[in-house]
C-alpha cells in the first residue's frame, strides 16, 4: 500500500511516472498468496499480468494509487482552482511545441502548425510508438526485472516523445542506478562506443540548432536530420541494453511454470539473483 501511495503521489507531482503503472502491476505476484518469489512464466507476456482486477494485490495497488492521486489533485484544485488543472495537468495533453527540439517530430509540427487537424494526427502518430514500447516492455520486462524495465521505459519514452528537450535527460539519472546490478557484468567496450556516438549526435544537433537560433540561418532540414540521427543512436543504445540484458546474469527469478518444479525453483531462487536463462527475446 505504501508503494502504491508513493506512486500516486509521484504521478501527481510529475505526471510522467504514470508510464510505469503497468510495469508495477506486472511485477506484482500472480497469486495473492504468493510470498513474492516471482512471476509465473505462463503469465509473462500476457495482458492478464497488467490487468488491475486480475488479483487482489493488483486491484489494491491500483485503487490506492488512484485515490492518492485524486486526493492530492483535488487538494491542489481547492487551493489554486482551474489554473492548476489547465497548467498542471491538461497542458500536457494539449501541448504543441513548434520550436526545434531533439525530437524528429518537431519539423512536421512546425510545417503543419497552422493546421489543427494535422497537428492532432501528428500527435497521435507520435504517441503510438511510445504506447507500443511501453506495453511490450511492461509485459516482458516488468515481471522479470522491474528496475531495468523502468530504466528502459524512461529512455524509450524520452527518445520517442514528440517533444524532447535537454531537461528530459535528467530523468535518466534517477532510474539508471537502480538498473546497475542488472548490467554490472556486461562488457564495457560497446557502451563506451555508444556513449561517444550519443555525445557526437547531440553535438551535431546543437551545432545545427545554434546556426538556426543564433545565426539566423535556415538549417531546419539539417536540424531535422540531426534529430533523426540522434533518435537512431538512442534506439541503438536501447537495443544494446536489451540484448545485453537478455544474455547477461542477474535479474529477478521468475516462479516456475509448472507444478512439478515450482516448489524447487521457489526454494532455490528465494527471490534472489540467478541467470535469466535467455528468457528474454
**Chain segment 39-59, per-residue pLDDT in tens:** 444 455 556 656 666 788 899
Provide the H-helix boundaries in the chain.
2-13, 21-27, 56-80, 82-84, 91-94, 105-111, 116-140, 146-160, 170-183, 189-213, 220-247, 259-269
The answer to whether 197 touches 166, Cβ cutoff 8 Å, is no
- Count the residues in the chain: 281
The answer to whether 208 touches 223, Cβ cutoff 8 Å, is yes
- Residue 110 structural domain: 2-269
What does the pLDDT average to over 78-84?
Answer: 91
What does the pLDDT average to over 233-238?
Answer: 93
pLDDT recorded at residue 47: 60
User: Would you place residue 258 in the very low, low, confident or very high pLDDT band (cuts 50, 70, 90)?
Assistant: very low
In a domain, 111, yes or no: yes
User: Would you place residue 37 in the very low, low, confident or very high pLDDT band (cuts 50, 70, 90)?
Assistant: very low
Count CB atoms within 10 A of the CB of residue 49. Answer: 25
Question: Is the pLDDT confidence value at 281 over 50?
Answer: no
What does the pLDDT average to over 231-257?
Answer: 72
In a domain, 276, yes or no: no
pLDDT recorded at residue 188: 63
User: Would you place residue 97 in the very low, low, confident or very high pLDDT band (cuts 50, 70, 90)?
Assistant: confident
In a domain, 279, yes or no: no
* pLDDT tens sequence across 202-235: 999 999 999 999 999 999 999 999 999 999 999 9
C-alpha cell at 3: 508503494
Residue whose C-alpha is closest to residue 143's, from 31, 65, 241, 233: 31
In a domain, 36, yes or no: yes
Q: Which residues contact 116 (CB under 8 A, 6 or more apart)?
A: none
Distance CA 53, CA 37 (A): 21
Question: Is the pLDDT confidence value at 35 over 60?
Answer: no
In a domain, 278, yes or no: no
What does the pLDDT average to over 241-254?
Answer: 64
pLDDT recorded at residue 31: 64
Partners of 252 in beta bridges: 273
User: Would you place residue 34 in the very low, low, confident or very high pLDDT band (cuts 50, 70, 90)?
Assistant: low
Residue 105's alpha-carbon distances to 4, 21, 198, 264, in angstroms, are: 34, 26, 19, 51
> Which is more confidently placed, 260 or 88?
88
For 197-225, letters b (16+ CB in 10 Å) and e give: bbeebbebbeebbeebeeeeeebbebbbb
C-alpha cell at 10: 509521484
In a domain, 58, yes or no: yes
pTM equals: 0.80
pLDDT recorded at residue 195: 86
Q: Is the dihedral of CA 84, 89, 94, 100 positive or negative?
A: positive
User: Would you place residue 198 in the very low, low, confident or very high pLDDT band (cuts 50, 70, 90)?
Assistant: very high
Based on the structure, what is the number of domains in the chain? 1
Any idea what DSSP says for residue 41?
T
Range among 88-92, 151-155, 241-245 rated most confident? 151-155
In a domain, 281, yes or no: no
Give residue for cell 507520435. Answer: 126
In a domain, 171, yes or no: yes
Give residue for cell 510522467. Answer: 16
Distance CA 39, CA 60 (A): 18
3-class secondary-structure state, position 40: strand
Amino acid at each position: 500500500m505504501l508503494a502504491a501511495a508513493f506512486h500516486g503521489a509521484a504521478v501527481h507531482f510529475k505526471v510522467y511516472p504514470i508510464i510505469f503503472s503497468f510495469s508495477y502491476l506486472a511485477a506484482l505476484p500472480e497469486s495473492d498468496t504468493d510470498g513474492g518469489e516471482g512471476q509465473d512464466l505462463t503469465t509473462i507476456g500476457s495482458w492478464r499480468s497488467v490487468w488491475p482486477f486480475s488479483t487482489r494485490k493488483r486491484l489494491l495497488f491500483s485503487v490506492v494509487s488512484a485515490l492518492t492521486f485524486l486526493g492530492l489533485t483535488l487538494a491542489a484544485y481547492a487551493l489554486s482552482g482551474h489554473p492548476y488543472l489547465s497548467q498542471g495537468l491538461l497542458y500536457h495533453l494539449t501541448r504543441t511545441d513548434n520550436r526545434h527540439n531533439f525530437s524528429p517530430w518537431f519539423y512536421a509540427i512546425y510545417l503543419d502548425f497552422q493546421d489543427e487537424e494535422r497537428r492532432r494526427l501528428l500527435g497521435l502518430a507520435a504517441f503510438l510508438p511510445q504506447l507500443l514500447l511501453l506495453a511490450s516492455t511492461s509485459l516482458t520486462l516488468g515481471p522479470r526485472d522491474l528496475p531495468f524495465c523502468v530504466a528502459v521505459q524512461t529512455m524509450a519514452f524520452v527518445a520517442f516523445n514528440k517533444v524532447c528537450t535537454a531537461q528530459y535527460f535528467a530523468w535518466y539519472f534517477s532510474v539508471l542506478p537502480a538498473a546497475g546490478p542488472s548490467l554490472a557484468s556486461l562488457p564495457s567496450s560497446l557502451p563506451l562506443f555508444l556513449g561517444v556516438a550519443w555525445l557526437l549526435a547531440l553535438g551535431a544537433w546543437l551545432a545545427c540548432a545554434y546556426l538556426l537560433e543564433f545565426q539566423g540561418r535556415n538549417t531546419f532540414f539539417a536540424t531535422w536530420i540531426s534529430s533523426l540521427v540522434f533518435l537512431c543512436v538512442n534506439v541503438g543504445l536501447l537495443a544494446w541494453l536489451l540484448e545485453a540484458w537478455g544474455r547477461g546474469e542477474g535479474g529477478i527469478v521468475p516462479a516456475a511454470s509448472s507444478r512439478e518444479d515450482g516448489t524447487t525453483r521457489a526454494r532455490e531462487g528465494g527471490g534472489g539473483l540467478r541467470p535469466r536463462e535467455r528468457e528474454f527475446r
